[in-house]
């Protein structure tokens, strides 16, 4: 059974004024309703790590993977309590040089500054059973940088996150979903087990584990739109 891998960024009250990527900020009430829908339909929300046996077809069951990109503090504040309430696990892909920092890569594009989780928040996230994934050092567009720099961004991010959690970091998300065959090889050689893109469909057993598709959930998605993404 194909598995939906949901992609969120920020969970917060969106700013009133128009700004780039405002659609990436999902209201906390909408997030709670979406988790309630998953529960009502009999889905278990799982981190990528916990969902791998289902994605690979070794286990069967109604599973939706919950992922967040960029490691925002508002996910800790607004999504983590909801995940705990529903008994769901999730993956957050952290930008290793912005731990306790902010979305420095977005700000030049006109996006409002938003803080990223601190090391102690990341440790708490992990201690509650959620997965710490890697999203490079600086949120670079990997195909646009030399291979050596791409390797540094991928390898050192894993080292920094492993130092914080004291546990292996095995999941990676390509910033902007931008990747290619050469980058998949670098990610595998760096010791990761899986990587996600932003190709829009549900994951299937035949998928390359270093190119797993994801479904982006946006601010204006209606409940029907959300369910379609999960089910179709
Ligand atoms: Zn990102």
3-state class (DSSP) for residue 222: coil
> In the prediction, which pLDDT does 111 show?
86
> In the prediction, which pLDDT does 70 show?
98
Q: How far is Cα 62 from Cα 217, in angstroms, rounded to an integer?
A: 19
- pTM of the full predicted structure? 0.96
What distance lies between CA 13 and its chain's CA centroid? 19
Give every residue of the chain whose pLDDT is below 50, as ranges. Answer: none
What's the CA angle centered on 138, arms 140 and 95, to 5 degrees? Answer: 115
Question: What is the residue whose two structure tokens read 């059973």?
Answer: 129
CA of 185 to the centre of ligand 1 (A): 20
CA of 27 to the centre of ligand 1 (A): 18
What's the CA angle centered on 54, arms 9 and 66, to 5 degrees? Answer: 15
CA of 70 to the centre of ligand 1 (A): 5
3-state class (DSSP) for residue 65: strand
CA of 189 to the centre of ligand 1 (A): 22
> In the prediction, which pLDDT does 109 show?
87
> In the prediction, which pLDDT does 15 show?
78
> In the prediction, which pLDDT does 182 show?
97
> Domains in the chain, start-ordered, CATH in brackets?
5-231 (3.20.20.370)
165: which 2 tokens?
């959690």
CA of 30 to the centre of ligand 1 (A): 21
> In the prediction, which pLDDT does 130 show?
98
Q: How far is Cα 75 from Cα 94, in angstroms, rounded to an integer?
A: 12
> Please, which residues have CB within 8 angstroms of residue 132's CB and are 6 or more apart in sequence?
91, 92, 94, 122, 125, 126, 161, 164, 165, 167, 169
Q: How far is Cα 209 from Cα 55, in angstroms, rounded to an integer?
A: 9
CA of 8 to the centre of ligand 1 (A): 10
CA of 102 to the centre of ligand 1 (A): 12
CA of 16 to the centre of ligand 1 (A): 22
> In the prediction, which pLDDT does 9 show?
96
CA of 211 to the centre of ligand 1 (A): 16
Contact present, 216 and 202 (Cβ < 8 Å) = no
Contact present, 218 and 26 (Cβ < 8 Å) = yes
> In the prediction, which pLDDT does 170 show?
98
CA of 112 to the centre of ligand 1 (A): 15
| pLDDT tens readout for residues 74-103 | 999 999 999 999 999 999 999 999 999 999
> In the prediction, which pLDDT does 198 show?
87
CA of 81 to the centre of ligand 1 (A): 22
CA of 105 to the centre of ligand 1 (A): 9
CA of 39 to the centre of ligand 1 (A): 27
């Amino acid at each position: 059974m194909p598995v939906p891998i949901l992609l969120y960024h920020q969970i917060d009250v969106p700013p009133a004024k128009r700004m780039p990527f405002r659609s990436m900020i999902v209201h906390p009430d909408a997030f709670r309703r979406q988790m309630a829908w998953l529960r009502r339909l009999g889905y278990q929300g799982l981190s990528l790590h916990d969902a791998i046996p289902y994605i690979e077809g070794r286990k069967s069951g109604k599973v939706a993977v919950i992922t967040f990109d960029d490691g925002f503090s508002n996910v800790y504040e607004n999504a983590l309590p909801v995940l705990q309430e529903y008994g769901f696990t999730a993956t957050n892909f952290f930008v290793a040089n912005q731990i306790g920092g902010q979305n420095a890569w977005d700000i030049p594009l006109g996006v409002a500054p938003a803080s990223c989780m601190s090391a102690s928040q990341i440790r708490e996230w992990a201690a509650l059973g959620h997965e710490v994934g890697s999203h490079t050092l600086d949120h670079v567009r990997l195909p646009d940088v030399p291979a050596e720099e791409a390797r540094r961004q991928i390898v050192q991010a894993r080292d920094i996150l492993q130092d914080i959690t004291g546990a292996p970091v095995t999941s990676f998300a390509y910033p902007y979903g931008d990747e290619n065959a050469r980058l998949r090889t670098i990610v595998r050689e760096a010791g990761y087990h899986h990587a996600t893109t932003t190709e829009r469909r549900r994951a299937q057993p035949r998928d390359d584990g270093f190119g797993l598709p994801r479904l982006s959930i946006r601010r204006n998605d209606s409940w029907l739109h959300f369910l379609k993404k999960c089910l179709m």
